[in-house]
Amino acid sequence: MRIFLKLSVCLVLLFLALPAVGASGPEASYQEARDAYYALQNSARKQLYRDQWQKVLSRFEHVQERYPDSARADDALFMRAKTMAQLYKISRLKKDAADAVALYRDMGLHHPGSSLTDDALLHAGTLLEEILGKRSEAWRVYRQLVDTYPDGDMAGQAKRRLKRLAAFAPAPPKQTAVISSRAEESPATVAAKSSPAVSGRIQLAAVRFWSNPGYTRIVLDLSGEGEFTTHFLPAEPAEGAPPRLYLDISAAELGPGMSAPTIVDDGLLQQVRTGQPREGTVRVVLDLESVHDYTVFPLGDPFRIVVDISGRKEAASIAAAPQSPPIPAAQPSASVGKDEIAKVLEQAPRDQAKLHIPEAPASSRLRRIVVDAGHGGRDPGAVGPGGTYEKTITLALAKRLAKKLEASLGCEVILTRSRDVYLPLEERTAIANKVGADLFISLHANANKSSKPYGVETYYLNFSKNDKAAALAARENGTSLKEVSDLELILFDLMANAKINESSRLAAEIQKGLVSGLSRHYSKVKDMGVRQGPFYVLLGATMPSVLIEAAFISNPREEKRLISGTYQERTADAIAKAVRHYAENNKLVAVK
């Protein structure tokens, strides 16, 4: 009897444990993925890193693939598409928007009976219409929604959008014996083929931004190099007009999807409007809320225009940094040149605005450092004789340095990238400016056509007549020597208020620390000194910033050192100690 009771108790306990086993099923897995999504939405810091988005996407994908017949499969696919669309708002990469469209449209293929499918199709059409500029394709998606889900709650919106895009409906086939090659094209396709872009005009392809309440960086991506002028208009309270900064780009036109405004609304900048006040001129208007200073400068290969705006108040902490704005709602596509503000702009003086760089707010302590792992993704950087990629070395070194700095200084350390992803150069300093970093350190490995050069050197931003420095900058900038020399005029204006002196002191401490620290363990550690160079990755940084060339990856001996975990650890330790010494000398931390 006692044995029977024990057996019964065991069976009962086993039965009670069964729901726990089911906790790894579709419902639990979906809820875990959903929790991860909202945790990411609530963390401005995590949103800066693509791998954090990828983790959430992978969770929803796991639910889809492992439980394709469950009641949560459609929810998981919809949330996966929604997450990708949210990622686009941060990255501003058209590929992310296109991936979101593909996932939304998959709802119609795999879950046609889901109550979410009509929502998904409307989202797909909106992205195609407003972000990707594919209006004919958007028309087809809206048509699919109305035809398939005429009683759905999204049908009304889709019908209104179909009416608005009537001109982009596919043309009916010609009822003739011979059909020309243009007969089956939509009006949009014909218009595109006869558009001014074919005649060689550059296009404004995208508007990207990074912001917090004290700093905003806008990047205008163009399809080719063009001339532009910058103008500033003060606020006109009587007219209810905010202060405005606007750029006129010559011999240009708006690219697909660029007529809708980009809403920023971060306390400094309300929105970015685009239009064509006259044939062959693109105007970009920044409606400002408050501004202390601003900088406008071009970058090449590919050509883009960078606008930095700073306010008087100190940059907010990363936890309080606002998220990127939602995709703008559909608005009438009125040209900027036709509204009342544009009329005022037309009468404004045409003088090119003088370049300025915003001053970073003074800080009495070292709170935050941004460490930048050079290159990444489709940009491998230099390649060593043994096949080692510079991007691999810089990422490994950055991760080690971050840990050393946090342990030594007790401050927050943020990596511009934590995995093998591509980041444009202007995005790296934008991250540092956005989070209010006190120092910016960019890590690289040097290279030369000859395998003989070796050694360590540290750079800070300046225009250099030194041919070697210019050549190195050209390689790190991914551009030509001629374009490096074109930076001279820009840099002369920028350096007036930039943190040049502090950067030179930081560079000197790091160079001395690297040579001293590494020489204790290795022979032939050559001190190549502190140098100045026109590096894009340092351009516009509002804090002391340096670029470190840790060794020559083109030198076989130093390539072997660079791939060694021990060398990476000792290099990171030397840099961290040097930064600590710099901070103590500048009273940014308490002296031990």
At 64-78, the pLDDT tens digits run 888 988 989 999 999
CB 272 within 8 A of CB 289: no
590 inside domain: no
How far apart CA 105 and CA 134 sit, in angstroms, is 15
**How many H helices and E strands in the chain?**
18, 16
Domain count, the chain: 3
Largest CA distance in the chain: 101
Whether this prediction's pTM lies above 0.85 is answered by no
319 inside domain: no
How far are the Cα atoms of 216, 253, 306 from residue 287, in angstroms, in the given order?
12, 21, 16
Same domain, 159 and 214: no
Q: Report the alpha-carbon angle 341-344-349, nearest 5.
A: 135
362 inside domain: no
CB 227 within 8 A of CB 280: no
Report pLDDT for 364.
Answer: 56
Beta bridge partners of 245: 232, 286
356 inside domain: no
Same domain, 537 and 419: yes
Strands 228-233 and 244-250: antiparallel
Report pLDDT for 152.
Answer: 83
39 inside domain: yes
Nearest to 488, CA basis, from 297, 345, 338, 323: 297
Report pLDDT for 537.
Answer: 65
Residue 382 three-state SS: coil
Provide, for the chain, the percentages of residues in helix, strand and coil under a 3-state DSSP scheme, each rounded to the nearest 5.
Answer: 45, 20, 35
The residue segments making up the domain with residue 536 are 368-585
CB-based burial, 336-346: b 16+ in 10 Å, e otherwise: bbeeebbeebe
167: which 2 tokens?
A: 């001109």
Specify the residue for token string 């210019």. 470
Same domain, 400 and 508: yes
Same domain, 340 and 385: no
* CATH number for 260: 2.60.40.3500
Q: How far is CA 139 from the centre of its chain?
A: 30
How far apart CA 429 and CA 493 sit, in angstroms, is 18
**Tens of pLDDT, residue by residue, the chain (592 residues):** 444 444 444 444 444 444 333 446 888 999 999 999 988 888 877 887 888 899 999 999 999 888 988 989 999 999 999 999 989 888 888 888 889 999 999 888 888 888 899 999 999 999 998 888 888 888 889 988 988 888 888 888 999 888 888 877 765 433 322 222 222 222 222 222 223 343 468 999 989 888 776 778 898 999 888 889 998 888 887 777 888 899 999 999 998 888 888 888 878 888 999 999 888 899 999 998 877 778 888 877 678 898 888 775 443 333 333 333 332 332 333 333 334 334 333 433 333 333 333 343 444 588 999 999 999 988 898 999 999 999 999 999 999 999 999 999 999 999 999 999 888 877 888 888 888 899 999 999 999 889 999 999 998 886 554 555 445 554 555 544 444 444 444 444 444 344 677 888 999 999 999 999 999 999 999 999 998 876 766 777 778 999 999 999 999 999 999 999 999 999 999 999 999 999 998 888 766 5
Same domain, 141 and 207: no
How far apart CA 428 and CA 537 sit, in angstroms, is 7
375: which 2 tokens?
A: 């290159």
Report pLDDT for 194.
Answer: 29
Q: Beta-carbon neighbour count of residue 261 at 10 Å?
A: 19
Q: For residue 384, which phi and psi values (nearest 5 degrees)?
A: -75, 165
175 inside domain: no
CB 198 within 8 A of CB 248: no
Report pLDDT for 24.
Answer: 67
Q: Where are the alpha helices (DSSP H) in 132-245?
A: 135-148, 155-164, 187-193
Intra-chain end-to-end CA distance of the chain, in Å: 72
Same domain, 423 and 497: yes
* CATH number for 535: 3.40.630.40
CB 58 within 8 A of CB 66: no
Same domain, 206 and 149: no
Same domain, 234 and 342: yes
Same domain, 405 and 504: yes
Boundary-marking domain end, from 131, 151, 168? 168
Boundary-marking domain end, from 148, 168, 188? 168
